[in-house]
Structure 1
Amino acid sequence: MIHPVIIAGGTGSRLWPLSRQLNPKQFLKLTDEHLSMLQLTVARLDGLETADPLLICNEEHRFLAAEQMRQSGYRDARIILEPCGRNTAPAIALAALQLIKNQEETRDPLMLVLAADHLIQDMAAFQAGIQKAIPLAGQGKLVTFGIVPGHAETGYGYIQQGSELASGCFEVSRFVEKPNQETAQAYLDSNEYLWNSGMFLLGARTYLQELQKHRPGILAICQAALDEASEDLHFTRLNESIFSECPEDAIDTAVMENTDNAAVVALDAGWSDIGSWSALWETSAKDTNGNCASGDVITHNTRNSLVRAESRLVATVGVEDLVIIETKDALLVANKNQVQDVKKVVDAIKSDGRHEHMNHREVYRPWGVYDSIDNGKRYQVKRITVKPGAKLSVQMHHHRAEHWIVVSGTAKVTNGEKTYLVTENQSTYIPVGQIHSLENPGVIDLELIEVQSGSYLGEDDIVRLEDVYGRG
């Protein structure tokens, strides 16, 4: 049986303004109307004989990840929380250590390591590649999947094929970094090179043995951080002080480039890492003018462009080779051939002390979602949706009062010493400094408008006294 390990770290800054630090691309519906990139990765396992997936993600994304796994049918999904990102070599080590913890000593469970933000368009070819890799991994090979290149790409690393081990399976001759255009073309013409996909099939014990041989420091810190981890709901929280000392290293440089047991399976399955807006345009369905549009979009005399509207009408006239991405709080207009520089815009936003790189106007919480509709110097208006049965923390604020108006559903409100119900078209007032909580006791969503007023309205003015979700 295969044990899927899904790596869901990263911020996807090149896909700003849709991808944000607290809601990055792996949790977005980029290539499918109904499923996020993470959920598509999970769905890709259907038909394979696998255990339940093990997910590794940043602590900031824990509730978003858990909710999307729940929607995918894994209510009690196992999730390891990294307090800080340390790249793939440590992440995979954590998964391997977790897997063998309760395994028989002689077993070497096979880990299928997948990134949560990749696109695979041909599921049958993907699963056939995995079946080819299973015998190799069972023989102690560390198997990676190399993508059959469709063009001379300078944005990917490459793998040179060595001796053929089986049909479509090869020893790895060498890994090479991202080449320039001339070198990439030479690689393509030689038919000896594959794109490095960052997907792997390998034995957990075999990987740990190789890591011990080549990067023993990483293994020691991962083991110590896991030994001192705490269990919180369905999450495994690593010891932050220990794990933060771990070197940042990719599995490629830590193990795959150093081991004598690397193998590669050639995969032609419509793969893309969706690393930029141009990559999304290339893999999306287009109209007769080469345009890919989603949302409320009108195009006229527009060609070879990607236009995405999230909250309002976007119209284009007489443009070509553009990427236009509209969200509730930001608009990106870029030449399709320069979208790699979107990251520089994100860097500028950070350096200016702005917040548009952190989150959208809509912010997801374990209890539901809120949308910051309007704000001024001493006020802020939010639309809040609380899921049935969900409860916000028992809390208080030092600097703001709150006025709640129920739009639909029923709210159970604790306001100081009183607890009462507030129904549709009714309201209540929470004074500054008052201990309070909000709960949805009903079976439909609770929707309300919250008007905050006070001298300071930041999210850090929340003193949580009790929280069912374990937030401090």
Structure 2
Amino acid sequence: MALQKKITPVLLCGGSGTRLWPLSRKSYPKQFVPLLGDETLFQASARRLSGADGALSFARPVALTNADFRFIVTEQLNLAGIDPGAVLIEPEGRNTAPAILAAALHAAATDPEAILLVAPSDHVIPDDAAFRAAVARGLPAVAAGDLVTFGIRPTHPETAYGYLELSAPPGDGGAPVKLSRFVEKPGAARAAEMLAEGHFLWNAGIFLFRARDMIAACEAHAPDLIAPVRASLEAAETDLGFLRLDPAAWAECADISIDYAVMERASNLSVVPFDGAWSDLGGWDAVWRESGPDTDGVVASGGATALDCRDTLLRSEDAGLEVVGIGLDNVIAVATRDAVLVADMSRAQEVKRAVAALKGKGAAQATQFPKDHRPWGWFESLVVGPRFQVKRILVHPGAALSLQSHVHRSEHWVVVEGTARVTVDDEVKLVTENESVYVPLGSVHRLENPGRVPMVLIEVQTGTYVGEDDIVRYEDMYAR
């Protein structure tokens, strides 16, 4: 094979899905959540596209995300044992076409022949080996200058996916087939017809191509994207190893998907059929299917108990919260610490309506978790009163909060796990388990974890205002 070089995975991980609320929210969306087992969808995607396997060899991944998720991306890659490559920060979401073009231009700056495999980071593909084999089957088409996409052989007449119409029925070997056209999400009757006809595949939104071929396709079919995306890269700033695309230039990019901008217009498209299991986990009904229902069609996870239930999903996402279902049929019930979803399974796609309704009434649960992830760890509010707040704070080994002060509150810290290095004005000292320290109103202070295990403390805030914006930062290792 002519193309025996490393493939660079491009992981799209800046989205904030709402159809898996309350577990997926804007502040911490589904790709970073362990929906199926202990591994997150993002970690599984990165692992699937790492290392070497026969004729395939993968370079370090390129991730496209937003500023809020940048440290989550590197943390989860490190926890998965994957060395992070470039992390490009999009100033705002502009859909997949600008993001993919940015990745292609970034790669072409050092190697125009670079082969990129673009994949959403929130899909489920259980058989890694089968997917890698499909990628290998696409390489000859890439060598011939084609843009390759991957189509899933449909198992049922699905109306929630777009389709790919092939120029000929796919063969048993899974070799690339020329694409005739993209098909929008069909109605139930047309989906059944396409399934019977045999030359329609689900559109997985996964692409394989050389950087220069994607750039050429954008120049031909989406020329208005070239200048702003190129300018955003040329004016990008390096920030703690991240590459921040220029906001002003990025704002000039059209908000358009790669399908509409390029793929539906290009003539050099091939499709690799994929026969393995695949799901975009586009709703709780998909999570139910992928979780392996028992003989009664029941999935009960966490602190959940099902009694005389059928075709039902019960989940508790809080160790102290028990969820019990009795006599339920075709029901979704998902409970977190601060929100509960109960819905008919057939209406799983309407969960986004609930999020919109919560936003309309100003409920924080629409977008925010009680647990707030930060570059140094996380915190969660345990109790909030009119003049006080109690938090649990976890700080990763070697991490530190900013050197800061508060205008409206004082703080009392009690270490319950590990050891903290605490700065309060001119005093620096170590505070170990069951020891405490007081931070007076207005004092300049910092909290660090000098150890090798996570440090956990309980923080009690008292004052006239305990909001997160009451922070004056003097130094910050994360450049916030």
Question: TM-score band (shorter)?
Answer: over 0.9
Partner of 2:294: 287
**TM-superposition CA deviations, 1:17-43 (whole Å, max 9, x none):** 000111100001112x22100110112
Q: Distance in 2 between matches of 1:436 and 1:123?
A: 48
**Given the alignment, which residue of 331, 340, 349 partners 2:349?**
340
Q: Is the 8 A contact 1:384 1:447 kept in 2?
A: yes
Q: Distance in 2 between matches of 1:137 and 1:459?
A: 50
Q: How does 1:17-36 map to 2 (within 5 A)?
A: 17-31=22-36, 33-36=37-40
Q: Say which SS state the counterpart of residue 64 (structure 1) adopts.
A: helix
Partner of 2:248: 241
Partner of 2:451: 442
2:44 aligned partner, one-letter code: L
Q: Say which SS state the counterpart of residue 467 (structure 2) adopts.
A: coil
1:147 and 2:155 matched = no
**TM-superposition CA deviations, 1:119-161 (whole Å, max 9, x none):** 0022222112111100001100111001101111111111100
Residues 1:358 and 1:464: Cα distance change in structure 2 (over 3 Å): farther
Q: Is the 8 A contact 1:5 1:56 kept in 2?
A: yes
Q: Say which SS state the counterpart of residue 19 (structure 2) adopts.
A: helix
Q: How does 1:29-428 map to 2 (within 5 A)?
A: 29-31=34-36, 33-45=37-49, 46=51, 47=53, 48-103=56-111, 107-163=112-168, 167-168=173-174, 169-311=176-318, 312-428=321-437
**TM-superposition CA deviations, 1:238-271 (whole Å, max 9, x none):** 1112212211111111101001101111111101
Q: Is the 8 A contact 1:70 1:77 kept in 2?
A: no
2:194 aligned partner, one-letter code: Y
Q: Distance in 2 between matches of 1:419 and 1:284?
A: 50
2:235 aligned partner, one-letter code: E
Q: Is the 8 A contact 1:406 1:447 kept in 2?
A: yes
Residues 1:75 and 1:432: Cα distance change in structure 2 (over 3 Å): farther
Deviation at 1:300, TM superposition (A): 0.6
Q: Is the 8 A contact 1:300 1:316 kept in 2?
A: yes
Q: Is the 8 A contact 2:60 2:83 kept in 1?
A: no
**TM-superposition CA deviations, 1:59-104 (whole Å, max 9, x none):** 111111110011122344321011111111111111111111112x
Q: Distance in 2 between matches of 1:427 and 1:367?
A: 20
Q: Is the 8 A contact 2:308 2:328 kept in 1?
A: yes
Deviation at 1:424, TM superposition (A): 2.0
Deviation at 1:3, TM superposition (A): 1.2
1:6 and 2:15 matched = no
Q: Distance in 2 between matches of 1:196 and 1:331?
A: 32
Q: Distance in 2 between matches of 1:77 and 1:357?
A: 32
Deviation at 1:409, TM superposition (A): 2.0
**TM-superposition CA deviations, 1:259-301 (whole Å, max 9, x none):** 1101111111101100100011112212221111110111110
**Alignment RMSD:** 1.4
Q: Distance in 2 between matches of 1:202 and 1:76?
A: 21
Deviation at 1:226, TM superposition (A): 0.6
1:460 and 2:469 matched = yes
Q: Say which SS state the counterpart of residue 269 (structure 1) adopts.
A: coil
1:36 aligned partner, one-letter code: T
Deviation at 1:183, TM superposition (A): 1.1
Deviation at 1:164, TM superposition (A): 7.0
Q: Say which SS state the counterpart of residue 208 (structure 1) adopts.
A: helix
Structure 2 runs not aligned, ≥5 long: 1-5
Q: Distance in 2 between matches of 1:355 and 1:226?
A: 35
Q: Is the 8 A contact 2:47 2:82 kept in 1?
A: no
Q: Is the 8 A contact 2:170 2:199 kept in 1?
A: no
Deviation at 1:163, TM superposition (A): 4.3
2:143 aligned partner, one-letter code: G
Q: Say which SS state the counterpart of residue 167 (structure 2) adopts.
A: strand
Q: Say which SS state the counterpart of residue 297 (structure 2) adopts.
A: coil
Structure 1 runs not aligned, ≥5 long: none
**TM-superposition CA deviations, 1:286-324 (whole Å, max 9, x none):** 222111111011111011111111111111111111111
Q: Distance in 2 between matches of 1:389 and 1:372?
A: 23
Q: Is the 8 A contact 1:295 1:309 kept in 2?
A: yes
Identical columns (%): 44
Q: Is the 8 A contact 1:94 1:226 kept in 2?
A: yes
Deviates more, 1:346-355 or 1:295-304: 346-355
Q: Distance in 2 between matches of 1:337 and 1:195?
A: 21
1:401 aligned partner, one-letter code: S
Q: Is the 8 A contact 2:159 2:191 kept in 1?
A: yes
Q: Say which SS state the counterpart of residue 119 (structure 2) adopts.
A: strand
Deviation at 1:165, TM superposition (A): 9.3
Deviation at 1:2, TM superposition (A): 1.1
Deviates more, 1:454-463 or 1:159-168: 159-168
User: Aligned pairs, how many?
Assistant: 467
Q: Say which SS state the counterpart of residue 114 (structure 1) adopts.
A: strand
TM-score by length of 2: 0.95
Q: Distance in 2 between matches of 1:174 and 1:212?
A: 20
Q: Is the 8 A contact 2:8 2:114 kept in 1?
A: yes
TM-score by length of 1: 0.96
Residues 1:110 and 1:443: Cα distance change in structure 2 (over 3 Å): closer
Q: Say which SS state the counterpart of residue 272 (structure 1) adopts.
A: coil
Q: Say which SS state the counterpart of residue 221 (structure 1) adopts.
A: helix
Q: Distance in 1 between matches of 2:69 and 2:376?
A: 14
Q: Say which SS state the counterpart of residue 65 (structure 1) adopts.
A: helix
Deviation at 1:191, TM superposition (A): 0.7
Deviates more, 1:147-156 or 1:382-391: 382-391
Q: Is the 8 A contact 2:376 2:400 kept in 1?
A: yes
